Chains A and B, each alone.
Chain A
């Protein structure tokens, strides 16, 4: 079943074209990795899929479960089951994590026609998830990402993902800035989401995440286009040889 279907996607900021004809299909049960040098358009692709303003889609289509994703607002995409994990999660002092987690979950439940989750059940669920992410309960009562280390912010992104159980998780450089231990915890978290009815897109610079979360497909993005796709061996090849050969072959 097709979860995400991107056809000939072109997008620009101002006069500057960033995405120049992307084609990508993610089916349920698949994990895709998107790699590519800096400035190739990886983050732009994530932002466009997340519905960030400021990007103009000039051509192409994006379908999410057969619906036109571009018709949906950011929050509608979220409650429909698309989760964007941020490269640099923003700090929101004053808003407690627990409050955000609860609001987010209940927004999703409301969209599914369900009542708010009972507070007792919610607390039980969230405490278990906090434990699996190797975090402290005190974290729930701190401001969202406020004063968090880079590693804590990324764990928080994965925690939200595990709570919300998205159909499609789009993780933008979730592995950057993590030490080995944190990388392990984050990878375990991602693997827990893996399942026959879900899709995961990992945007990353490094092979090391992919040795923990083995992708089914690897794509190389360059100058706004996917110039090569392959299986997990492509990432290993890339790690060994660098981008240069691929880019030369492409140009």
Chain B
């Protein structure tokens, strides 16, 4: 998700009432039907195959019911009350509403950046300040693109890819998460606004983490984001989505889809830091984050790693999964999910072992504070074809306070007797005794809490790219501020 754009929206919201204009944006009136789907496709000037694909998804969605099995509660969503398309703003329009300098930005937002240790030049970009004076994002983008193009890596917005590489889109879109996979994925398939496309050709090791680029460049992705990453034979890429900076959005419902494909010997490492607006301390507002993420380790000896730090959103419904299709393929899931106040998290993974000697590792750490509810839900499936498959699952819950809940729903299905499955689970609590002990050694209460939380999450933070591991620690500290004592 593009934080700059979201933050622009936040900043603009404060200005909106002062500058009422008609030029703002082109929005389709609320409601969803086939005409809306056609209109979205037409506005984006999409090829016929994509329209057909959207329509098929839409028709299927209409026959589906919203899932009720997750351990989360929220009032029914009126899907006909939502608007499904807003035209991207032009640069001039955006600039007209931008704050002119950091002095015009909400001081609370800046304070948060400060706490998170976000570099000064990025703060301006994140806050939506016209950055040209501080940081020339356009030229940086160009530099990145040139560098990537040299080795044949394609990295662009989804819409752009639809036009520049329709054959790749047609070949891979929906092959990991089919249009009718689940309620939210079907909805996304019908109305997705934009997202990212990454293609790493055979034998190429992507020369940079695809992260910095993402952090400082706005793409108009909206609430139904679609990401597709393909790594051909022997290719390697590390991709980071999101950012620790707080993100607000007026769209309460977010239903993204991410598809990853690895061919023989390819590796994709996908790291997420999610910090959408979680609602206030009383549980009012906040984003509903209903995401479908799945990787298909299609080739032999290929590897997919999901690492996520989930700190935001009022409700999280998210299970980044791996289909281990190729022989000797590897799937990994490392997760820290922190919930405070009234947040609800139902997250985990699915490891579907199809190939021989496939291996998967699941390390899930949940931290519950306030009155939040935090559930791990995971499936390990060993198919009949998966000889000598192995899985190791470790599922730990840390409780802060006594008004929240941690839940674990592990599902294990084994159809092949040669499988080795290990599952470990622990639940612990930060106690007053622990805090007092650390304080009596001269460590402040805040640091004491952070030490315990970071110690608890260490196994996952170790998997994050270095600079984000540092930010993730800061993010946890901010998210849990005031939850102890």
Contacts and interface: CB of A to CB of B under 8 A. Distances in A.
The binding surface of chain B is classed by DSSP as helix
A79 B434 CA distance: 18
Contacts of A100: 438, 441, 443, 451
A92 B432 CA distance: 11
B15 interface: no
B434 A90 contact: yes
B411 interface: no
A160 B439 CA distance: 13
Interface size class of A (residues with CB under 8 A): 20 to 34
B429 to A, nearest CB: 11
B452 interface: yes
Nearest to A105: B442
Contact of B434 (A53, A75, A92): A92
A77 B438 CA distance: 12
Contacts of A127: none
B447 interface: yes
A107 B441 contact: yes
A143 B444 CA distance: 19
Nearest to A75: B439
A101 to B, nearest CB: 9
Contacts of A53: 432, 436
A89 B438 CA distance: 11
A94 B455 contact: yes
B440 interface: yes
Nearest to A101: B441
B45 interface: no
B451 A74 contact: no
B79 interface: no
A95 B452 contact: yes
A92 B452 contact: yes
A74 to B, nearest CB: 4
A74 B439 contact: yes
A103 B440 contact: no
B392 interface: no
B164 interface: no
A86 B436 CA distance: 11
Contacts of A104: 441-443
B282 interface: no
Which one of A75, A94, A100 has the highest number of Cβ atoms from chain B below 10 Å of its Cβ? Answer: A94
Nearest to A91: B434
A51 B436 CA distance: 9
Interface string B85-112: 0000000000000000000000000000
24 contacts: A50-B436, A52-B436, A53-B436, A73-B439, A75-B439, A75-B442, A75-B445, A77-B440, A78-B440, A84-B440, A90-B431, A90-B433, A90-B434, A92-B434, A92-B437, A92-B438, A92-B452, A93-B428, A95-B451, A100-B441, A100-B443, A103-B451, A107-B443, A108-B442
